[in-house]
Amino acid sequence: VAADLFSLSGKSILITGASSGIGRQAAITCAERGATLIISGRDEARLNDTLKRLPGSGHRAVTADLTDAAQMVRLADEAGAVHGFFHSAGVAAIAPFRMVSQKHLDTLLKANFEAPVLLTQRLLSKRQVQAGGSIVFNTAGAADNSPNASAIYSAAKAALRAASRTLALEVARNRIRVTCLQLGYIHTEMLERLSEQGMAPDDLSSHIPLGEGTPVDAANAVVFLLSDASRWISRTSLIVDGGLSLRISR
């Protein structure tokens, strides 16, 4: 019988942002595929709720604010050896360019760019990412499409994508792959908060050729990128947006 290349059985996978939204669903779907998870988030109660929902055994939860250097290092150390790493933690906030402040810049760049870069650096410098491993960053369609009032969010995600391409070159000799998941709008707590600020149009799904996406749609793409089925895919982004981005740029 041919091996199931889409299985995550025997793999130890680190997922950040697992206390909510896409990271939470990715953790559940990866566990369903046989992975052993180390999940992280800031909110202990919601993180433990994710932990309870994971099928299988041996999973661990580590609470950490990744913009705090000591907490980031603690997470990296507690993660041990990993075969896959999905960095989903991130924050979104809107501001028209003329209202961009130092605080806005710091918040978005620290969480969306510096934290994933520094956590990945730490894991690699301690040789925790195993040969044949896969690193996946949750960037965003915004990195290309740059919607209104999202200059700094879009820039942070685009910066992460650019950095990931160089990283992918540097780790290829260890057969480690680096990719970005470039999502369109997916209904999560983040989107609810943005809707409250007037960012997301109510009729969003009518703009998406395949209609509204779900965290499961994102999680299935994460499984593919973390599995051996994508062993020849690196230095690129997978767009998962129901066809939205092509429609916009037509």
Give the interface with ligand NAP as residue ranges (CB under 6 A): 16-17, 19-23, 41-43, 46, 65-67, 88-92, 111, 138, 140, 183, 185-186, 188-191
Beta carbon of residue 137, minimum distance to ligand NAP (angstroms, whole number): 8
Say if CB 35 and CB 9 are below 8 A apart.
yes
Beta carbon of residue 150, minimum distance to ligand NAP (angstroms, whole number): 10
Q: Which is nearer to ligand NAP, 168 or 244 (CB)?
A: 244
Q: Which is nearer to ligand NAP, 4 or 44 (CB)?
A: 44
CA distance 53 to 55: 6
Which among 39, 44, 49 has a CA at the least distance from the CA of 17? 39
Q: Who's near 58: CB < 8 A, 6+ residues apart? A: 36
Q: Who's near 10: CB < 8 A, 6+ residues apart? A: 34, 83
Q: Which is nearer to ligand NAP, 25 or 134 (CB)?
A: 25
Q: Who's near 201: CB < 8 A, 6+ residues apart? A: 207
Beta carbon of residue 95, minimum distance to ligand NAP (angstroms, whole number): 15
Beta carbon of residue 132, minimum distance to ligand NAP (angstroms, whole number): 25
CA distance 193 to 176: 35
Beta carbon of residue 23, minimum distance to ligand NAP (angstroms, whole number): 5
Q: What are phi and psi of 58, to 5 degrees?
A: 90, 5
Q: Which is nearer to ligand NAP, 132 or 159 (CB)?
A: 159
First to last CA, the chain: 45
Which among 1, 2, 23, 3 has a CA at the least distance from the CA of 13? 23
Q: Which helix (H) or strand (E) holds 64?
A: none
Beta carbon of residue 217, minimum distance to ligand NAP (angstroms, whole number): 11
Q: Which is nearer to ligand NAP, 8 or 64 (CB)?
A: 64
Q: Which is nearer to ligand NAP, 20 or 134 (CB)?
A: 20
Residue 86 pairs in a beta bridge with 15, 136
Q: Which is nearer to ligand NAP, 128 or 153 (CB)?
A: 153
Amino acid at 23: G
Beta carbon of residue 131, minimum distance to ligand NAP (angstroms, whole number): 27
